[in-house]
Amino acid sequence: EPEVTQTPSHQVTQMGQEVILRCVPISNHLYFYWYRQILGQKVEFLVSFYNNEISEKSEIFDDQFSVERPDGSNFTLKIRSTKLEDSAMYFCASSSDREDQPQHFGDGTRLSIL
C-alpha cells in the first residue's frame, strides 16, 4: 500500500539555525499538509497546500515557516530560524479529493532544538 514518507526521522538542530523537513506524499494525492505535535499534546494544523500554493495556514505558521513543492514528488517544510519551542514531532500528510478518504500521515520527524 502506498505511504507517505518523511525524512529525517529525527533532526537535532541548534537554536537559530534553519531546518528543512522533507516529505514524499502519496503519488496520486492532491492535497498536502503539515501538522505538529508537541510532546504529550494534541496534533496541531500548520499548513495545507493544493495546486502549488498554500490553501490554508494556522496562526502557528508565521513568517519563520515556509513550504515548497520543489519537484513533482517532494513537499518540504522550512523553519528559517528555529526556536526552542519549535521542538516537536512534525507530521506530513496527504489526501485525495474524495471526501470519505482520510489524510494519510507519515511517521513524522522528531525535531529537537538545542
Partner 1 sequence: AQKITQTQPGMFVQEKEAVTLDCTYDTSDQSYGLFWYKQPSSGEMIFLIYQGSYDEQNATEGRYSLNFQKARKSANLVISASQLGDSAMYFCAMRKDRGQNFVFGPGTRLSVLP
List residues near partner 1 by CB under 8 A. Answer: 30-31, 33, 35, 41-45, 48, 50, 55-56, 58, 89, 91, 93, 95-108, 110
How far apart CA 53 and CA 71 sit, in angstroms, is 13
In the complex with partner 1, which residue's Cβ is closer, 14 or 40?
A: 40
d(CA 114, CA 99): 40
Looking at beta carbons only, is 93 or 113 nearer to partner 1? 93
- Cis omega before residue 8 (within 30°)? yes
Smallest distance, partner 1 to C-beta of residue 105, A: 4
**In the 8-state DSSP scheme, what is residue 19?**
E
CB of 25 or CB of 108, closer to partner 1: 108
Q: 34 or 82, CB closer to partner 1?
A: 34
Calculated CA dihedral for residues 85, 91, 94, 98, nearest 10 degrees: -90
User: Shortest approach of partner 1 to residue 16 CB, angstroms?
Assistant: 26
